[in-house]
Amino acid sequence: MRVLLIEDDHATAQSIELMLKSEGFNVYTTDLGEEGIDLGKIYDYDLILLDLNLPDMNGLEVLRQLRVGKVNTPVMILSGSHEIETKVKTFGGGADDYMTKPFHKDELIARTHAVVRRSKGHAQAIIHTGEIAVNLDGKTVEVNGHRVHLTGKEYQMLELLSLRKGTTLTKEMFLNHLYGGMDEP
């Protein structure tokens, strides 16, 4: 899963990046809103994590520009603000979820999976395609109820095919999903 993290605090960004990478996510980080907008428009991410307090612009403006630019990638706001008004503004601006800092790794991972699942049209953690069942949370695959042991890359390929079933996938999409944006392994 590819995640764009737009966070200006270096320590917080490193911490979040480590949390996500420990779960097998490919994380791309920037500390500037303008760069985040450009990256969000150019590359295909499964989720954008967005801080509201950035040095060059407000996170709400980043969110607005992403949505105006037709970026449909789900956006989860990460903020230290507990204010209801701020939360309501972000949801009104197109945010898909909101987490108040500090947060626990397990909650971040669970919310990340849930937001991505919903954005792909899957309310459940298990996606069924014919006789194949892909469990996004457990990272397991079953065929006719029998567990199939796969390598990490094999699982990632089935995950991508399941999440994007019914759509055409390019070689670049596979490489981005499998190798985190590198052109070749």
Tens of pLDDT, residues 32-84: 999 999 999 888 888 999 999 999 999 999 999 999 988 889 999 999 989 99
Choose among 150, 118, 121: nearest CA to 134: 150
As annotated, the residues of the chain forming the CATH 3.40.50.2300 domain(s) are: 2-119
As annotated, the residues of the chain forming the CATH 1.10.10.10 domain(s) are: 126-179
CB neighbours (10 Å) of residue 30? 19
Q: Mean pLDDT throughout 145-172? A: 85
The predicted model scores a pTM of 0.69
Residue 141: beta bridge partners?
A: 134, 148
**Domain 2-119, classified CATH 3.90.1150.10, yes or no:** no
Q: Mean pLDDT throughout 92-118? A: 91
Amino acid at 59: G
Q: Mean pLDDT throughout 105-109? A: 93
| CATH number at 126-179 | 1.10.10.10
| pLDDT confidence of residue 180 | 63
State the alpha helices, DSSP H only, in 4-58: 10-21, 33-42
